[in-house]
Amino acid sequence: MFLRSCAVAVVGLALVGCAGAGAGAPGEPASRGSTALAAGVTVEIVQLRADVALRQAQVHVVNGGDTDLQIGEVAVDDPRFTAPATRVLAGRTSTVPAGAEVDIRVQLPEVACSAPVAAAAQPAVELTFLADGVGGTARVVAADPLGFLAPLHERECRAAALAEAATLAFTGFTPAPPGQPATLQLTVTPTGRGEATVVAVQATNLLDFGPATVDGAFPLDLPVVPGDTDPTVVDIPLLPSRCDPHAVQEDKRGTIFDIRLSLDGEPGEIELFVGDALRGDILTWVSSWCGFAGAG
C-alpha cells in the first residue's frame, strides 16, 4: 500500500522525498520540507526471463550518489494493473551502497482490461527510504527500458477475452527415444459462450515441431463456436531445437509457448506455460534425448 504522508517531486528519474519526523543527525533538529536523495539515484522496472512464468518483475535501483541508501516498502503503480505491485518478500529492507545497484522483486497483480489505457501510460514507483539518517517516502516515474509492460498488458487482456470462449492448457507429455518426437498435449475446452480460432502454437528457443513446423509454428486452425462445450485434445510433436547443455540448465522460457489466436477477427497471441510439473518432465527428456546428464 502506498504511503502518502508527504508531498514529493520528480526531476528526471532522481528520487525526491520528504524527511520523516525526528530524522537527522543526533543533536540536530529534525529535517523539514523536501529532501532530495543523492543525485544520480535512478529507478527502472524490468522483467527478466526468469520472472515471466512467475508473473513478477524487478524494480532496478541504481545509486549513483555518494551516500548509502536503504529501501523499505516498494509499490509500483500503473494503470494497466488493478492494484500496485509490491515486494515478493514483504517487510524486507534493501541496502544499496553508493555506486551500486539492486533489483527488488515485485509481484505483478492482475491486469486491468475493462477500461482503455493510454498509450503513454507509465509506471510510478513509490518507496520508503533511509539515507544519512534521513528517511521519508519518494515517488518517481520509472523507465521501462525493455518495453515489457505494454505487451504484457495486451497479451493478458487477450487471454482474458479468450477465456470467455475457451480455456487452453497443456495437459500431458509423453517422452520419446532419441531421434523421435515426444508428444505434448494441448486441451482446448470451449465455454459455449464465445467464438475464437486457435491458429497455431509457436516454437520456443528450446523446442520446435520438427517436420511439422510451418512458419515457426505448429498449425492448428481450431475453431471455437458458441454452444460447443466438448474439449478437444491436440497431440503436438515436440523435438529439441538445440542440444547444448547450458540451454537446458539455464532454461527460462523454453517451455513457455506463444499461442496464435484470432478473436473477433483480430489476430493476436497469448503466452501459455506448460506448468512446473511438465516443465521438469520436458527438460529431463531433452537432457536424455540429447545425451547429456545433469540438466533439468
Report the pLDDT value the prediction gives residue 44, as an integer from 0 to 100. Answer: 95
Q: For the segment 182-194, what is each residue's pLDDT rounded down to a tens digit?
A: 999 999 999 999 9
Q: Does the structure show a pLDDT above 90 at 27?
A: no
Query: Which of 57-61, 107-111, 137-141 is predicted with the least confidence, judged by mean pLDDT?
Result: 137-141
Q: What is the mean pLDDT of residues 52-56?
A: 90
Report the pLDDT value the prediction gives residue 132, as an integer from 0 to 100. Answer: 84
Whole-model pTM: value is: 0.71
Q: Count of CB atoms within 10 A of residue 114's CB?
A: 7
Q: Does the structure show a pLDDT above 80 at 270?
A: yes
- Mean residue pLDDT of the chain comes to 85
Report the pLDDT value the prediction gives residue 37, as an integer from 0 to 100. Answer: 53
Report the pLDDT value the prediction gives residue 36, as an integer from 0 to 100. Answer: 47
Q: Does the structure show a pLDDT above 70 at 22?
A: no
Q: Does the structure show a pLDDT above 70 at 6?
A: no
Q: What is the mean pLDDT of residues 63-92?
A: 94
Q: 153 φ, ψ to 5°?
A: -60, -45
Confidence of residue 40 (pLDDT cuts 50, 70, 90): confident
What are the chain's domains?
16-148 (2.60.40), 164-290 (2.60.40.10)
In whole angstroms, give the CA distance from residue 59 to residue 89: 13
* Ramachandran sector of residue 221 (left: φ over 0; alpha: ψ -120 to 50; beta: rest): left
Q: For the segment 81-109, what is each residue's pLDDT rounded down to a tens digit?
A: 999 999 999 999 999 999 999 999 999 99
**% of the chain residues with pLDDT over 90:** 69
Confidence of residue 23 (pLDDT cuts 50, 70, 90): very low
Report the pLDDT value the prediction gives residue 12, as an integer from 0 to 100. Answer: 32
Q: Does the structure show a pLDDT above 90 at 282?
A: yes
